[in-house]
A = this chain, B = another copy of it.
Amino acid sequence: MNTSSSPSVDLPSVGTVEAQYFTCCEPANELVLKSGLKLGPITLAYETYGQLNEDKSNAILICHTLTSDAHAAGFHPGDKKPGWWEGMIGPGKAFDTNKYFVLSSNVLGSCKGSTGPASINPSTNKPYGLSLPFITIEDMVAAQKKLADHLGIRKFFSIAGGSMGGLQALIWAVHYPEAIHSAILIATNYRHTAQQIALHEVGRQAIMSDSDWQNGDYYGKTIPAKGLALARMIGHITYMSDKSMDEKFGRKLIGKEKLGYDFSHDFEVENYLKYRASNFVQRFDANSYLYISKALDYFDLAEDGELTDKFKKTLAHFLVISFTSDWLYPSYQSKELVRALKANDLDVSDCEINSTYGHDAFLVEIESQSKLVKHFLNRLQKEKSHGPSPNPSI
């Protein structure tokens, strides 16, 4: 993902924030995973911005992507770089922390403070590695539900996310209909397609082909850096668009007057991929990449029937946003989802934003996205106070 997005407007930040941790599900009360296996205890890292009101009705849950974390806004002490959705979360912003209590939760399986393959297995005192049970998106959401219960939040005013974050919001709407007033689904879909699976599979094979991977048992030894870097390079290409790569790099050469006629890097785009990949390798665990990418590929809301039937108990209001140049989660997939929601007479606002940024657009197109989110949340606020308007569509 492009994490260079800066707030498009001169609105203040939530300022200094820090990670919090929630641990639950001791062995006697383990989390039963979709696979049937049990996991406990588990820890989730999370951050909060804004104040929870007295009746705990102003909470918004932010869900993140494959390789992101709970640090969605503000600055960690000493850091110059804000959270990954700084432009969207803060006083006066789309997720307005003057009004809302914003909760951002890291997912189960990650390496960013939550229980994942790099965590210590309390029964062996060694990192889990591949002995960690398989995690699904549904399991990530089940763990988030435990966190919400712990915080006393019975119903989120909204749950929002882009990419994998949108899948989590969708699962909330289907599995916990009473616990979610609205869902904001951005650049997402309802099942992983063959192309999405294939792109992930190459990344996984790159990691598992790295001789340093050692069947996932590399902690304390050499990490499978080459494989993880390749996985990230593929990822980066899918997060951008043909157009955005052309605008950003074109055929610009790096540090050379002319082509080198050898196998060193010639083009800026080559160096960019290398740079981003080497950064990523320092901050992310290869096994978490395997777990979470496979969780994404397993995701299929219609796996045992018709998609439209899945929303029979769903109560949430929906805002569905897609981007014209997103070829990883193309707009037609959002539209299929919208059709299924509307077939259930649910309140759905949908918009395809014109953007050249590809899948990364949800991190970059702050202004147009903010307008839609603000309007959607304001309308729902008004309706909560005064009843629904005759024409809810935006």
Chain A residues within CB distance 8 Å of chain B: 34-35, 37, 130, 133-134, 191-195, 197-199, 201-202, 204-206, 208-211, 226-227, 229-230, 233-234, 236-237, 240-242, 245-246, 248-251, 259, 261-263, 266-267, 269-270, 273-274, 290, 294, 297-298, 300, 303, 327, 330
Contacts and interface: CB of A to CB of B under 8 A. Distances in A.
Given A192-B251, A209-B226, 8 more contacts: A194-B245, A194-B250, A195-B242, A202-B230, A202-B233, A204-B263, A209-B229, A242-B327
Nearest to A241: B195
B205 A269 contact: no
Contacts of A303: 251
Question: How many copies of this chain does the complex contain?
Answer: 2
A205 B193 contact: no
Contacts of A199: 237
A355 to B, nearest CB: 16
A201 B246 contact: no
A58 B208 CA distance: 52
Given A197-B269, A259-B298, A261-B35, A209 B191 contact: no
B230 A198 contact: no
A206 B206 contact: yes
B134 A193 contact: no
A57 B333 CA distance: 52
B233 A201 contact: yes
A270 B300 contact: no
Nearest to A298: B259
